[in-house]
Structure 1
Amino acid sequence: MEKEHPRDEQPQDHTDLDMPKGSNTKGEQKPKPLPSLLDSLSDPEKRHKGKKLRILKDKE
């Protein structure tokens, strides 16, 4: 019972956090995830924006 509890919570939390973050970031910045990731890494300004968005999404 104890082993099943954390195992069940982990994937749920992961999907919950991944879905809104990925959908929002991809939709707002670029439709393609790869160039978007490379862009945010190359551009410090964009990286800052992404971090801010992540914090806001996490707080919500």
Structure 2
Amino acid sequence: MSGTGKTEMRRFTISLEASAYEELKDIAASQRPPLTLQYTVRYALLRFLDENRGQQLKLDIE
């Protein structure tokens, strides 16, 4: 963290199925006020991290 108090951000790219992408866009747009897709994905990811911190993921891998 720098002296300005801002958190360092890192950028990465993901690929989603079109249906998942459209669903995320719909969720973001349906909020009042509407949210950006970037904020919505960041929120979901941070929530995932909070809920799974220190745990083994239970992945359904076929």
TM-score (norm 1): 0.34
> As a proportion of its length, which structure holds more helix?
1
Greater relative contact order structure (CA < 8 Å, 6+ sep):
1
